[in-house]
């Protein structure tokens, strides 16, 4: 099954004008194709990530005004071949797709690994009552609400979460935004408001991830194993 997804992923990447000439290296196969090819909305995260790997300036011009959160909001729409293509571009492991249980467990662990590795505890907390099954992500919630009680808003907690986010490095903010938008897609009117910088350009975000050692691979591993929330 995974081999089938890999073959389809390579075809998708070729259709948008990129290929992998050697391990960890991506290049344009045809700049005209990359510049003009029709890109289905669910393939856009793959295209942005692939183009940014080759040339971040080109990627930004191909997707003008596209923010990281816009990119992440597309993830639930992506199919197995598209997720596989994104994992390949990010240098991440090929997604485990046939088993919903395995995928949920991998995703949940990946989310918590990133929270812990990048010190994101100021924005997220562990809750005892799981809000779903098959994955530890169901025990994670954004700070700012009384999750153990009536789930009402706690103003001081929410204020503290926003302050923590504003003090973070760009790489940390990228990870927070990714988790937040995997948790809840669409415009954020609740959590990171009040002057929080959330419109990080997608191409810039990919560049930051790629320049920071294992960050892109860890990000890609989490995103491509998204299992619902």
Give residue-wise pLDDT tens across range 109-121: 999 999 999 999 9
Long-range contacts, stretch 120-124, CB < 8 angstroms, 24+ apart: 120/168, 120/172, 120/175, 120/176, 120/179, 122/160, 122/161, 122/164, 122/165, 122/168, 123/161, 123/164, 123/165, 123/176, 123/180, 124/176, 124/179
β-pair partners for 125: 141
Give residue-wise pLDDT tens across range 161-174: 999 999 999 999 99
Q: What is d(CA 91, CA 108) in angstroms, rounded to the nearest whole number?
A: 20
pTM of the full predicted structure?
A: 0.95
pLDDT confidence tier of residue 131, bands split at 50, 70 and 90: confident
pLDDT confidence tier of residue 2, bands split at 50, 70 and 90: low
Residue 55, pLDDT above cutoff 60:
yes
Rounded mean pLDDT of the chain?
Answer: 94
Give residue-wise pLDDT tens across range 192-206: 998 999 999 999 999
Give residue-wise pLDDT tens across range 61-78: 999 999 999 999 999 999
Q: Can you give the pLDDT at residue 99?
A: 79
Buried b (16+ CB within 10 A) or exposed e, 39-57: beeebbbbbbbbbbbbbbe
What three-state secondary structure class fits 99? coil
């Amino acid at each position: 099954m995974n081999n089938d997804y890999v073959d389809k992923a390579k075809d998708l990447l070729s259709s948008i004008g990129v290929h992998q000439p050697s391990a960890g290296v991506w290049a344009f196969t045809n700049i005209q194709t990359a510049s003009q090819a029709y890109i289905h909305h669910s393939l856009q995260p793959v295209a942005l990530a692939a183009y940014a790997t080759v040339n971040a300036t080109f990627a930004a011009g191909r997707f003008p005004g596209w923010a990281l959160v816009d990119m992440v909001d597309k993830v639930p729409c992506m199919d197995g071949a598209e997720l596989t293509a994104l994992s390949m571009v990010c240098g991440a492991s090929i997604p485990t797709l046939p088993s919903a249980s395995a995928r949920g467990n991998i995703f949940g662990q990946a989310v918590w690994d990133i929270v812990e590795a990048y010190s994101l505890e100021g924005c997220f907390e562990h809750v005892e009552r799981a809000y779903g099954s098959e994955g530890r992500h169901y025990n994670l919630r954004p700070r700012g609400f009384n999750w153990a009680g009536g789930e009402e808003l706690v103003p001081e907690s929410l204020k503290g979460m926003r302050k923590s986010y504003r003090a973070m490095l760009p790489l940390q903010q990228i990870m927070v935004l990714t988790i937040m938008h995997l948790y809840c897609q669409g415009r954020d009117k609740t959590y990171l408001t009040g002057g929080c910088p959330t419109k990080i350009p997608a191409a810039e975000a990919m560049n930051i991830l790629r320049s920071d050692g294992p960050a892109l691979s860890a990000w890609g591993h989490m995103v491509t194993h998204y299992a619902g929330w």
